[in-house]
Amino acid sequence: MAKPIIFSGIQPSGRLMLGNYLGALKNWVNLQKDYDCLYCLVDLHAITLPQDPKELRERSYEGLAVYLAAGIDPAKNILFLQSHAPQHAELGWMLTCHTYMGELSRMTQYKDKSAKQKNIGVGLFTYPSLMAADILLYQTNLVPVGQDQKQHLELARDLAQRMNNLYGPLFKVPEVYIPPVGAKIMSLQAPTAKMSKSDPDPNATVFLSDGDKEIEKKLKRAVTDSGSEIVFAPDDEEKAGVTNLISIQAAITGRKPDEIVASYAGKQYGHLKVDTAEIVVQCIKPVREKYQALLDDKGELDRILARGAEAARERAETTLAKVKDALGFVARH
Ligand code: TYM
């Protein structure tokens, strides 16, 4: 029997960081055994905010090298760049025409990101329709993402249902997979905001390219609170910093947050920070070391991308042809 299909992606808009790893990549690696997976680097999404072209190209290769270094097998999964499969942009347009202004206006990520821009590109607003196209093109069953993508996934599901109701069965309605821990890793400097690739404060984010000393330094400087109680309290803003460190440990080690908290009875924040640093160092080190070696062989990365693009395009074309026909476009003879 055919395995169920997974699609997920990361924007090559910055260096990949601990939140991307724990919220997404680490789970992708585990899921690849039981699913037919397409893992994309969504470069068309990256240009919804200004990008330096040279950096975008470099970050795209880096992203692929991180996917491989994390343990995603290019022989068993489809790894590709979104811009290599033009069907994404095409279906994206068709879905944009079926998305309501109100739906996009409600997107919290749009509100957050547009608030930081002087001139807001229209693509930033219509981004969730393109994301829906990414997913729906492949008849995806499951989309493993961090918590911040949940609202976008709901739109993808609504659009699938809307299109199916209007034009007949075109798309599978995808399910979202959000990991029980690690789905929302917070900034080390402002722990009520999520950790982000593009945070201007370099101490707020642990990048997968950071060296051991750098990771230790960032975790030792992590903001906690003026108290001394080590607890796991996701709903208490006061304890956001401490809760984040416990979450990071839980997501990496697989231990339960309560169990981790219990192991700190009578200990101080300093202990928690030192231990978390050690756990993060051990988690990132093998990925970083492999990734650096992979990045030196761009020829091999290009070959993987070429194979991925070919496989992705073939599948995407099957869905796109059905959609064009259903919408009433004349077939090219
Ligand atoms: P992006 O590039 O912002 O993030 C990639 C993945 O990392 C997760 N993530 C986090 N998880 C935990 N804690 C954090 N602080 C954190 N920050 C990011 C994200 O939830 C995501 O899973 N719109 C998407 C990319 C995308 C996509 C798709 C994803 C485009 N098309 C289709 C799935 C399916 C994005 O901007 O992710």
Confidence of residue 1 (pLDDT cuts 50, 70, 90): confident
End-to-end CA distance of the chain: 35
Superfamily of domain 212-292: Tyrosyl-Transfer RNA Synthetase (1.10.240.10)
Which secondary-structure segment (H or E) carries 166? helix 150-167
pLDDT tens for each residue of 5-48: 999 999 999 999 999 999 999 999 999 999 999 999 999 999 99
Structure letter (DSSP) for residue 194? B
256 catalytic? Reply is: no
CA distance 196 to 207: 10
Burial call 36-66: b when 16+ CB within 10 Å, e when fewer: bbbbbbbbbbbbbbebeeeeeeebbbbbbbb
In which residue are the tokens 């064009």 written? 324
Ligand 1 atom showing the smallest separation from residue 183 Cα? 12
List residues near ligand 1 (CB under 6 A).
7-11, 19-20, 22-24, 42, 45, 131, 134-135, 143, 145-146, 148-149, 152, 183-185, 194-195
Token pair for 233 = 């309290």
- For helices 269-295 and 212-220, give the axis angle rounded to 10 degrees: 150
Token pair for 24 = 């997404």
pLDDT tens for each residue of 132-146: 999 999 999 999 999
CB 189 within 8 A of CB 220: no
pLDDT at 64 (0 to 100): 98
pLDDT value at 67 more than 90? yes
Are both 5-183+298-327 and 212-292 of the same fold? no
User: In sequence order, which residues have a C-beta less than 8 Å from that of residue 326 and are 6 or more positions away?
Assistant: 167, 168, 170
* DSSP symbols for 297-325: -HHHHHHHHHHHHHHHHHHHHHHHHHHHH
Strand ranges across the sheet with 36-41 = 78-81, 36-41, 5-10, 142-144, 175-177
Question: How many angstroms separate the alpha carbon of residue 172 from the centre of ligand 1?
Answer: 21
Other C-beta atoms closer than 10 Å to the C-beta of 289 total 11
Catalytic residue among 76, 111, 172, 197: 197
CB 60 within 8 A of CB 12: yes
pLDDT tens for each residue of 114-132: 999 899 999 999 999 999 9
Question: How many angstroms separate the alpha carbon of residue 178 from the centre of ligand 1?
Answer: 11
Structure letter (DSSP) for residue 262? H
pLDDT at 77 (0 to 100): 98
Closest Cα partner for 85 from 306, 309, 302? 309
Percentages helix, strand, coil for the chain, rounded to the nearest 5?
55, 10, 35
CATH 3.30.9.10 fits 5-183+298-327, yes or no: no
Q: What are the residue boundaries of the structural domains of the chain, listed by start?
A: 5-183+298-327, 212-292
CB 250 within 8 A of CB 256: yes
